[in-house]
Amino acid sequence: MTQPRTRIVEGFSLSHAAILDGTTGQEEDWGDLYGVRSGSIAVQSQNYDNTGDDFVLSSWFWFDYGEVTVQMGYVPMDTIANLSGNPISSDTSGGAGSEVYAMDVWTSTDLNQPARPMQLVVPSKDDNGAIAELLLILFKVQFMPFTFDGPSYKSGLLVNYGGRALVSLKDHKGNALTKRTIGRVISQPVAA
């Protein structure tokens, strides 16, 4: 007998990261951040302490934005092209197996691209052991220009994506929200 899923979820590792289309919540055809090695999401928060009589009488906290970083072991040229606005040129005159692909990197077009929703997918299970996926969805990410780590011996060449997850009045499917929100956490059963 299968036990019902619970709301206590344990995440393990990182299986996938992707750019979403912003209208259906599906991945863009080019949006797979292939070969993800690590990812992180953190909120940038601040506080103000109201003091009096030599004591902190109350504290006020707020957040400004989220920070997201993803590191990959592959260079997905289509994703870089779509996030940067720099097209890929190709030369296939040499026939199959001799294709040459090229694109400019770190140009002025990188600095004025639209924000896009994205998600990180984490394999998980609940406290009863039921297998699930934990989706960390950010509704509006303004991406920074990508960077490289390496190339280095054994580790190779790594590509880093980073951006700011800004508050949004629309979710990852384009639906209106009632309050400004950075993202959503979803625990769902693994699709068969």
**What is the chain's mean pLDDT, rounded?**
90
Cis peptide before 151 (omega within 30 of 0): yes
Q: Is residue 76 part of a domain?
A: yes
Q: Is residue 81 part of a domain?
A: yes
What total number of domains does the chain contain? 1
* Residue 1 pLDDT greater than 60, yes or no: no
The CB density around residue 124, as the number of other CB atoms within 10 Å, is 20
C-alpha 17/C-alpha 19 separation (Å) is 7
* Residue 54 pLDDT greater than 70, yes or no: yes
- Domain of 92, CATH number, reads 2.30.110
Q: Is residue 4 part of a domain?
A: no
**Torsion angles phi and psi, residue 71, rounded to 5:** -120, 135
C-alpha 187/C-alpha 33 separation (Å) is 21
* Residue 192 pLDDT greater than 70, yes or no: no
Query: What per-residue confidence (pLDDT) applies to 2?
Result: 63
Q: Is residue 174 part of a domain?
A: yes
Provide the domain limits for residue 151. 9-189
Residue type, 187: S
SS3 95: coil
pLDDT band at 126 (very low <50, low <70, confident <90, very high): confident
Q: Is residue 17 part of a domain?
A: yes
Q: Is residue 2 part of a domain?
A: no
